[in-house]
Structure 1
Protein backbone atom coordinates (compact mmCIF):
# COMPACT_ATOMS: atom_id res chain seq x y z
CA UNK A 1 0.00 0.00 0.00
CA UNK A 2 1.45 3.38 -0.96
CA UNK A 3 0.88 6.71 0.72
CA UNK A 4 1.18 10.02 -1.06
CA UNK A 5 1.39 13.17 1.10
CA UNK A 6 1.03 16.79 0.03
CA UNK A 7 3.26 19.05 2.09
CA UNK A 8 1.73 22.39 2.92
CA UNK A 9 3.19 25.48 4.54
CA UNK A 10 5.99 24.93 7.07
CA UNK A 11 6.34 21.31 5.97
CA UNK A 12 3.08 20.19 7.56
CA UNK A 13 0.99 17.61 5.66
CA UNK A 14 -2.39 18.92 4.54
CA UNK A 15 -3.96 15.68 3.17
CA UNK A 16 -3.09 12.03 2.63
CA UNK A 17 -4.14 9.66 -0.19
CA UNK A 18 -4.00 5.91 0.34
CA UNK A 19 -3.46 3.89 -2.81
CA UNK A 20 -4.24 0.16 -2.89
CA UNK A 21 -3.46 -1.54 -6.24
CA UNK A 22 -5.33 -4.71 -5.31
CA UNK A 23 -8.53 -2.80 -4.51
CA UNK A 24 -8.39 -0.94 -7.82
CA UNK A 25 -7.84 -4.19 -9.74
CA UNK A 26 -10.80 -5.89 -8.08
CA UNK A 27 -13.02 -2.87 -8.71
CA UNK A 28 -12.14 -2.70 -12.40
CA UNK A 29 -12.63 -6.45 -12.80
CA UNK A 30 -16.07 -6.34 -11.24
CA UNK A 31 -17.16 -3.58 -13.59
CA UNK A 32 -15.87 -5.27 -16.72
CA UNK A 33 -16.67 -8.84 -15.70
CA UNK A 34 -19.66 -11.00 -16.74
CA UNK A 35 -23.16 -10.02 -15.65
CA UNK A 36 -25.89 -12.19 -14.26
CA UNK A 37 -27.90 -14.12 -16.84
CA UNK A 38 -30.88 -12.16 -18.10
CA UNK A 39 -29.52 -8.72 -17.14
CA UNK A 40 -27.29 -8.07 -20.16
CA UNK A 41 -30.12 -7.83 -22.72
CA UNK A 42 -29.28 -11.15 -24.39
CA UNK A 43 -32.78 -12.49 -23.65
CA UNK A 44 -34.57 -9.51 -25.22
CA UNK A 45 -35.97 -11.48 -28.15
CA UNK A 46 -37.18 -14.24 -25.83
CA UNK A 47 -38.97 -11.75 -23.57
CA UNK A 48 -40.53 -10.03 -26.58
CA UNK A 49 -41.76 -13.37 -27.91
CA UNK A 50 -43.24 -14.33 -24.52
CA UNK A 51 -45.00 -10.96 -24.29
CA UNK A 52 -46.41 -11.40 -27.80
CA UNK A 53 -47.75 -14.88 -26.97
CA UNK A 54 -49.27 -13.56 -23.75
CA UNK A 55 -51.06 -10.72 -25.54
CA UNK A 56 -52.34 -13.10 -28.22
CA UNK A 57 -53.55 -15.54 -25.56
CA UNK A 58 -55.47 -12.80 -23.74
CA UNK A 59 -57.11 -11.58 -26.97
CA UNK A 60 -58.09 -15.09 -28.08
CA UNK A 61 -59.51 -15.95 -24.67
CA UNK A 62 -61.69 -12.85 -24.80
CA UNK A 63 -63.08 -13.77 -28.22
CA UNK A 64 -63.72 -17.38 -27.20
CA UNK A 65 -65.59 -16.27 -24.06
CA UNK A 66 -67.84 -14.02 -26.15
CA UNK A 67 -68.59 -16.84 -28.58
CA UNK A 68 -69.27 -19.23 -25.71
CA UNK A 69 -71.79 -16.80 -24.25
CA UNK A 70 -73.57 -16.47 -27.62
CA UNK A 71 -73.66 -20.25 -27.90
CA UNK A 72 -75.13 -20.59 -24.41
CA UNK A 73 -77.92 -18.18 -25.42
CA UNK A 74 -78.67 -20.26 -28.54
CA UNK A 75 -78.62 -23.42 -26.43
CA UNK A 76 -81.06 -21.91 -23.92
CA UNK A 77 -83.51 -21.03 -26.72
CA UNK A 78 -83.48 -24.56 -28.10
CA UNK A 79 -83.62 -26.09 -24.62
CA UNK A 80 -86.65 -23.91 -23.86
CA UNK A 81 -88.38 -25.05 -27.05
CA UNK A 82 -87.72 -28.73 -26.27
CA UNK A 83 -88.87 -28.30 -22.66
CA UNK A 84 -92.08 -26.51 -23.65
CA UNK A 85 -92.84 -29.17 -26.25
CA UNK A 86 -92.12 -32.15 -24.00
CA UNK A 87 -94.13 -30.79 -21.06
CA UNK A 88 -96.97 -29.49 -23.28
CA UNK A 89 -96.74 -26.08 -21.62
CA UNK A 90 -97.80 -24.31 -24.83
CA UNK A 91 -99.87 -25.47 -27.77
CA UNK A 92 -97.89 -26.76 -30.76
CA UNK A 93 -99.73 -24.22 -32.89
CA UNK A 94 -97.89 -21.51 -30.94
CA UNK A 95 -94.51 -23.21 -30.51
CA UNK A 96 -93.86 -26.01 -32.98
CA UNK A 97 -92.45 -29.34 -31.89
CA UNK A 98 -88.65 -29.53 -32.18
CA UNK A 99 -86.97 -31.03 -35.22
CA UNK A 100 -84.99 -34.21 -34.66
CA UNK A 101 -81.61 -32.50 -34.92
CA UNK A 102 -82.37 -30.28 -31.94
CA UNK A 103 -82.19 -33.17 -29.46
CA UNK A 104 -78.55 -34.18 -30.10
CA UNK A 105 -77.66 -30.50 -30.38
CA UNK A 106 -78.52 -30.09 -26.70
CA UNK A 107 -75.25 -31.93 -26.02
CA UNK A 108 -73.43 -28.97 -27.57
CA UNK A 109 -73.28 -27.36 -24.13
CA UNK A 110 -70.49 -29.84 -23.27
CA UNK A 111 -67.82 -28.23 -25.52
CA UNK A 112 -68.56 -24.78 -24.12
CA UNK A 113 -68.29 -26.05 -20.55
CA UNK A 114 -64.88 -27.59 -21.24
CA UNK A 115 -63.85 -24.38 -22.99
CA UNK A 116 -64.85 -22.26 -19.99
CA UNK A 117 -62.85 -24.60 -17.72
CA UNK A 118 -59.79 -24.56 -19.99
CA UNK A 119 -59.34 -20.79 -20.23
CA UNK A 120 -58.50 -19.70 -16.64
CA UNK A 121 -55.52 -22.06 -16.15
CA UNK A 122 -54.50 -22.64 -19.79
CA UNK A 123 -55.56 -26.28 -19.60
CA UNK A 124 -54.55 -27.81 -22.93
CA UNK A 125 -56.38 -31.11 -22.32
CA UNK A 126 -59.73 -29.42 -21.69
CA UNK A 127 -59.31 -27.22 -24.76
CA UNK A 128 -58.58 -30.24 -26.97
CA UNK A 129 -61.66 -32.03 -25.58
CA UNK A 130 -63.70 -28.89 -26.29
CA UNK A 131 -62.57 -28.78 -29.93
CA UNK A 132 -63.20 -32.48 -30.58
CA UNK A 133 -66.61 -32.48 -28.89
CA UNK A 134 -67.57 -29.33 -30.81
CA UNK A 135 -67.26 -31.30 -34.02
CA UNK A 136 -69.36 -34.16 -32.64
CA UNK A 137 -72.05 -32.31 -30.70
CA UNK A 138 -72.22 -28.98 -32.54
CA UNK A 139 -71.27 -29.30 -36.19
CA UNK A 140 -72.63 -32.81 -36.83
CA UNK A 141 -76.19 -32.08 -35.54
CA UNK A 142 -76.27 -28.85 -37.56
CA UNK A 143 -75.32 -30.68 -40.75
CA UNK A 144 -78.02 -33.26 -40.07
CA UNK A 145 -80.50 -30.47 -39.30
CA UNK A 146 -79.78 -28.75 -42.59
CA UNK A 147 -80.58 -31.95 -44.47
CA UNK A 148 -83.65 -32.66 -42.32
CA UNK A 149 -85.23 -29.24 -42.85
CA UNK A 150 -84.26 -28.80 -46.50
CA UNK A 151 -87.41 -30.45 -47.99
CA UNK A 152 -89.63 -28.29 -45.73
CA UNK A 153 -87.72 -25.15 -46.68
CA UNK A 154 -87.97 -26.09 -50.35
CA UNK A 155 -91.72 -26.53 -50.05
CA UNK A 156 -92.03 -23.17 -48.29
CA UNK A 157 -90.00 -21.49 -51.02
CA UNK A 158 -91.93 -23.04 -53.91
CA UNK A 159 -95.48 -22.98 -52.59
CA UNK A 160 -95.31 -20.50 -49.72
CA UNK A 161 -96.90 -23.00 -47.35
CA UNK A 162 -95.72 -23.60 -43.79
CA UNK A 163 -97.13 -26.15 -41.37
CA UNK A 164 -95.03 -25.41 -38.29
CA UNK A 165 -94.92 -22.05 -36.55
CA UNK A 166 -93.06 -20.39 -33.70
CA UNK A 167 -95.06 -17.43 -32.40
CA UNK A 168 -96.56 -16.87 -35.84
CA UNK A 169 -93.34 -17.23 -37.81
CA UNK A 170 -92.48 -20.18 -40.01
CA UNK A 171 -90.61 -22.65 -37.82
CA UNK A 172 -88.27 -23.73 -40.60
CA UNK A 173 -87.32 -20.11 -41.31
CA UNK A 174 -86.65 -19.40 -37.64
CA UNK A 175 -84.62 -22.57 -37.19
CA UNK A 176 -82.58 -21.97 -40.34
CA UNK A 177 -81.75 -18.50 -39.03
CA UNK A 178 -80.68 -20.02 -35.71
CA UNK A 179 -78.68 -22.62 -37.60
CA UNK A 180 -76.82 -20.03 -39.69
CA UNK A 181 -75.85 -18.12 -36.55
CA UNK A 182 -74.84 -21.33 -34.75
CA UNK A 183 -72.64 -22.49 -37.63
CA UNK A 184 -70.73 -19.21 -37.58
CA UNK A 185 -70.38 -19.27 -33.80
CA UNK A 186 -69.03 -22.82 -33.74
CA UNK A 187 -66.77 -22.21 -36.72
CA UNK A 188 -65.13 -19.25 -34.99
CA UNK A 189 -64.99 -21.16 -31.71
CA UNK A 190 -62.97 -23.94 -33.30
CA UNK A 191 -60.78 -21.49 -35.24
CA UNK A 192 -59.89 -19.35 -32.21
CA UNK A 193 -59.43 -22.44 -30.03
CA UNK A 194 -56.94 -23.84 -32.55
CA UNK A 195 -54.99 -20.57 -32.58
CA UNK A 196 -55.03 -20.44 -28.78
CA UNK A 197 -53.82 -24.03 -28.60
CA UNK A 198 -50.93 -23.19 -30.94
CA UNK A 199 -50.02 -20.17 -28.80
CA UNK A 200 -50.00 -22.30 -25.66
CA UNK A 201 -47.83 -24.97 -27.29
CA UNK A 202 -45.36 -22.36 -28.55
CA UNK A 203 -45.17 -20.73 -25.13
CA UNK A 204 -44.56 -24.11 -23.49
CA UNK A 205 -41.77 -24.95 -25.94
CA UNK A 206 -40.11 -21.57 -25.36
CA UNK A 207 -40.15 -22.14 -21.60
CA UNK A 208 -38.53 -25.55 -22.04
CA UNK A 209 -35.81 -24.07 -24.28
CA UNK A 210 -35.18 -21.32 -21.74
CA UNK A 211 -34.68 -23.90 -19.00
Structure 2
Protein backbone atom coordinates (compact mmCIF):
# COMPACT_ATOMS: atom_id res chain seq x y z
CA UNK A 1 0.00 0.00 0.00
CA UNK A 2 1.07 3.52 -0.59
CA UNK A 3 0.84 4.45 3.07
CA UNK A 4 3.47 1.94 4.18
CA UNK A 5 7.14 2.40 3.83
CA UNK A 6 8.94 5.14 1.99
CA UNK A 7 6.66 7.80 0.51
CA UNK A 8 7.24 9.18 -2.92
CA UNK A 9 4.94 11.86 -4.30
CA UNK A 10 5.32 12.46 -8.01
CA UNK A 11 5.91 16.05 -9.00
CA UNK A 12 2.72 17.96 -9.72
CA UNK A 13 0.46 15.74 -7.59
CA UNK A 14 1.07 17.45 -4.28
CA UNK A 15 -1.62 20.06 -4.87
CA UNK A 16 0.62 22.72 -6.33
CA UNK A 17 -0.71 22.05 -9.82
CA UNK A 18 -4.16 23.49 -9.03
CA UNK A 19 -3.64 26.47 -11.31
CA UNK A 20 -3.19 24.15 -14.30
CA UNK A 21 -6.14 21.84 -13.70
CA UNK A 22 -9.05 21.91 -16.07
CA UNK A 23 -12.03 23.97 -15.10
CA UNK A 24 -15.55 23.93 -16.41
CA UNK A 25 -16.08 26.81 -18.80
CA UNK A 26 -18.44 29.53 -17.58
CA UNK A 27 -20.94 29.02 -20.41
CA UNK A 28 -21.41 25.37 -19.41
CA UNK A 29 -22.01 26.32 -15.79
CA UNK A 30 -24.49 29.02 -16.85
CA UNK A 31 -26.19 26.59 -19.19
CA UNK A 32 -26.61 23.89 -16.55
CA UNK A 33 -27.91 26.34 -13.95
CA UNK A 34 -30.41 28.00 -16.28
CA UNK A 35 -31.64 24.69 -17.68
CA UNK A 36 -32.53 23.59 -14.18
CA UNK A 37 -34.25 26.87 -13.36
CA UNK A 38 -36.17 26.88 -16.63
CA UNK A 39 -37.45 23.38 -15.92
CA UNK A 40 -38.80 24.61 -12.58
CA UNK A 41 -40.56 27.47 -14.38
CA UNK A 42 -42.12 25.01 -16.80
CA UNK A 43 -43.29 22.90 -13.85
CA UNK A 44 -45.04 25.94 -12.34
CA UNK A 45 -46.49 26.71 -15.77
CA UNK A 46 -48.03 23.22 -15.73
CA UNK A 47 -49.53 23.89 -12.30
CA UNK A 48 -51.09 27.12 -13.53
CA UNK A 49 -52.37 25.30 -16.61
CA UNK A 50 -54.15 22.73 -14.45
CA UNK A 51 -55.74 25.54 -12.43
CA UNK A 52 -56.93 27.11 -15.69
CA UNK A 53 -58.13 23.73 -16.93
CA UNK A 54 -60.21 23.39 -13.76
CA UNK A 55 -61.80 26.76 -14.52
CA UNK A 56 -62.44 25.77 -18.14
CA UNK A 57 -63.76 22.32 -17.27
CA UNK A 58 -67.38 23.50 -17.09
CA UNK A 59 -67.26 24.98 -20.59
CA UNK A 60 -65.36 22.01 -22.03
CA UNK A 61 -67.87 19.56 -20.58
CA UNK A 62 -70.77 21.65 -21.91
CA UNK A 63 -69.27 21.54 -25.40
CA UNK A 64 -68.94 17.75 -25.12
CA UNK A 65 -72.55 17.46 -23.83
CA UNK A 66 -71.36 15.91 -20.58
CA UNK A 67 -73.36 16.89 -17.50
CA UNK A 68 -71.77 16.65 -14.06
CA UNK A 69 -74.01 18.11 -11.37
CA UNK A 70 -71.21 19.04 -8.97
CA UNK A 71 -69.44 21.14 -11.60
CA UNK A 72 -72.68 22.79 -12.77
CA UNK A 73 -73.53 23.75 -9.19
CA UNK A 74 -70.31 25.77 -8.96
CA UNK A 75 -71.77 28.27 -11.47
CA UNK A 76 -68.39 28.93 -13.05
CA UNK A 77 -68.59 32.01 -15.31
CA UNK A 78 -68.24 31.46 -19.04
CA UNK A 79 -64.64 31.69 -20.26
CA UNK A 80 -63.31 34.44 -22.45
CA UNK A 81 -61.10 33.95 -25.51
CA UNK A 82 -57.93 34.88 -23.65
CA UNK A 83 -58.26 31.88 -21.33
CA UNK A 84 -58.10 29.41 -24.21
CA UNK A 85 -55.36 31.43 -25.92
CA UNK A 86 -53.27 31.33 -22.75
CA UNK A 87 -53.64 27.54 -22.59
CA UNK A 88 -51.80 27.30 -25.92
CA UNK A 89 -48.71 28.61 -24.15
CA UNK A 90 -48.38 25.23 -22.41
CA UNK A 91 -47.67 23.56 -25.74
CA UNK A 92 -44.62 25.77 -26.08
CA UNK A 93 -43.07 24.07 -23.08
CA UNK A 94 -42.53 20.93 -25.17
CA UNK A 95 -40.61 23.03 -27.70
CA UNK A 96 -38.53 24.46 -24.86
CA UNK A 97 -37.77 21.06 -23.36
CA UNK A 98 -36.64 19.78 -26.76
CA UNK A 99 -34.39 22.84 -27.15
CA UNK A 100 -32.92 22.28 -23.69
CA UNK A 101 -32.17 18.64 -24.42
CA UNK A 102 -30.03 19.38 -27.47
CA UNK A 103 -28.96 23.00 -26.86
CA UNK A 104 -30.86 24.26 -29.90
CA UNK A 105 -31.00 28.00 -30.45
CA UNK A 106 -33.81 28.21 -33.02
CA UNK A 107 -36.46 26.32 -30.98
CA UNK A 108 -35.54 28.37 -27.92
CA UNK A 109 -36.08 31.58 -29.90
CA UNK A 110 -39.43 30.19 -31.03
CA UNK A 111 -40.30 29.40 -27.42
CA UNK A 112 -39.58 32.97 -26.33
CA UNK A 113 -41.59 34.45 -29.20
CA UNK A 114 -44.47 32.07 -28.60
CA UNK A 115 -44.50 32.83 -24.89
CA UNK A 116 -44.80 36.52 -25.65
CA UNK A 117 -47.71 35.92 -28.07
CA UNK A 118 -49.63 33.22 -26.18
CA UNK A 119 -48.48 34.00 -22.65
CA UNK A 120 -48.10 37.73 -22.20
CA UNK A 121 -50.66 39.12 -24.66
CA UNK A 122 -53.64 37.15 -23.24
CA UNK A 123 -52.58 38.08 -19.70
CA UNK A 124 -52.26 41.74 -20.68
CA UNK A 125 -55.74 41.61 -22.20
CA UNK A 126 -57.13 40.06 -18.99
CA UNK A 127 -55.38 42.70 -16.89
CA UNK A 128 -57.05 45.48 -18.87
CA UNK A 129 -60.40 43.67 -19.07
CA UNK A 130 -60.76 43.20 -15.28
CA UNK A 131 -59.11 46.48 -14.30
CA UNK A 132 -62.39 48.38 -13.92
CA UNK A 133 -63.94 45.70 -11.65
CA UNK A 134 -60.84 45.49 -9.48
CA UNK A 135 -60.59 49.28 -9.20
CA UNK A 136 -64.25 49.58 -8.22
CA UNK A 137 -63.89 46.79 -5.66
CA UNK A 138 -60.76 48.27 -4.09
CA UNK A 139 -62.13 51.82 -3.91
CA UNK A 140 -65.74 50.97 -2.95
CA UNK A 141 -66.98 52.61 0.22
CA UNK A 142 -70.36 50.87 0.54
CA UNK A 143 -72.43 48.00 -0.88
CA UNK A 144 -74.06 50.17 -3.57
CA UNK A 145 -70.69 50.73 -5.23
CA UNK A 146 -70.24 46.95 -5.59
CA UNK A 147 -73.43 46.35 -7.60
CA UNK A 148 -71.57 46.30 -10.94
CA UNK A 149 -68.73 44.08 -9.69
CA UNK A 150 -68.95 40.40 -10.63
CA UNK A 151 -68.57 37.95 -7.74
CA UNK A 152 -67.98 34.20 -7.75
CA UNK A 153 -68.41 32.13 -4.58
CA UNK A 154 -68.37 35.36 -2.57
CA UNK A 155 -65.06 36.58 -4.00
CA UNK A 156 -64.58 39.39 -6.53
CA UNK A 157 -64.02 37.65 -9.85
CA UNK A 158 -61.60 40.24 -11.21
CA UNK A 159 -59.43 40.07 -8.10
CA UNK A 160 -59.22 36.28 -8.40
CA UNK A 161 -58.02 36.71 -11.97
CA UNK A 162 -55.49 39.30 -10.87
CA UNK A 163 -53.98 36.74 -8.49
CA UNK A 164 -53.68 34.28 -11.37
CA UNK A 165 -52.25 36.94 -13.68
CA UNK A 166 -49.63 37.91 -11.10
CA UNK A 167 -48.45 34.32 -10.71
CA UNK A 168 -48.50 33.64 -14.46
CA UNK A 169 -46.57 36.82 -15.23
CA UNK A 170 -43.87 35.85 -12.74
CA UNK A 171 -43.53 32.41 -14.27
CA UNK A 172 -43.37 33.83 -17.81
CA UNK A 173 -40.89 36.57 -16.94
CA UNK A 174 -38.54 34.12 -15.24
CA UNK A 175 -38.96 31.62 -18.08
CA UNK A 176 -37.95 34.21 -20.66
CA UNK A 177 -35.07 35.40 -18.49
CA UNK A 178 -33.65 31.88 -18.08
CA UNK A 179 -34.26 31.05 -21.74
CA UNK A 180 -32.42 34.23 -22.74
CA UNK A 181 -29.49 33.30 -20.49
CA UNK A 182 -29.38 29.87 -22.14
CA UNK A 183 -29.32 31.45 -25.58
CA UNK A 184 -26.39 33.65 -24.60
CA UNK A 185 -24.48 30.68 -23.16
CA UNK A 186 -25.15 28.52 -26.22
CA UNK A 187 -24.16 31.26 -28.65
CA UNK A 188 -20.89 31.84 -26.82
CA UNK A 189 -19.82 28.25 -27.61
CA UNK A 190 -19.48 29.03 -31.28
CA UNK A 191 -21.40 29.31 -34.55
CA UNK A 192 -22.34 25.59 -34.69
CA UNK A 193 -25.56 25.88 -32.65
CA UNK A 194 -26.87 28.99 -34.41
CA UNK A 195 -27.32 27.12 -37.69
CA UNK A 196 -30.09 24.92 -36.24
The answer to whether the superposition gives a TM-score over 0.5 is yes
Q: Is 1:178 matched with 2:164?
A: yes
Contact 1:57–1:196, Cα closer than 8 Å, also in 2: yes
* Contact preservation (8 Å) 2:35, 2:100: yes
Q: Distance in 1 between matches of 2:165 and 2:173?
A: 12
The separation in 2 between residues aligned to 1:81 and 1:128, in whole angstroms, is 30
2:65 aligned partner = none
Give me the CA root mean square deviation: 2.5
Find out whether 1:149 has 2:101 as its counterpart: no
Matched, 1:199 2:185: yes
Does the C-alpha gap of structure 1 residues 111 and 149 become closer, same or farther in structure 2, counting only changes over 3 Å?
Answer: same
What are the ranges of 5 or more consecutive residues in structure 2 without an aligned counterpart?
1-16, 63-67
- Structure 2 match to 1:60: 34
Gaps of 5+ in 1: 1-40
Q: Structure 1's 59 and 191: CA in aligned 2 closer, same or farther, altered over 3 A?
A: same
Residues in 1 aligned to 2:192 and 2:106: alpha-carbon distance in whole angstroms: 19
More strand by share: 1
CA contact (8 A) 2:96 2:111 kept: yes
TM-score by length of 2: 0.73
Matched, 1:74 2:48: yes
Runs of 4+ with >4 A deviation: none
Q: CA deviation at 1:152?
A: 1.9
Does the 8 A contact of 1:67 with 1:185 survive in 2? yes
Total equivalences in the alignment: 162
Query: More relative contact order in 1 or in 2 (CA 8 Å, sep 6+)?
Result: 2
Distance in 1 of aligned mates of 2:179 and 2:48: 19
Secondary structure, aligned partner of 1:128: helix
Normalising to structure 1: TM-score of the pair? Answer: 0.68
Q: Is the 8 A contact 2:150 2:158 kept in 1?
A: no
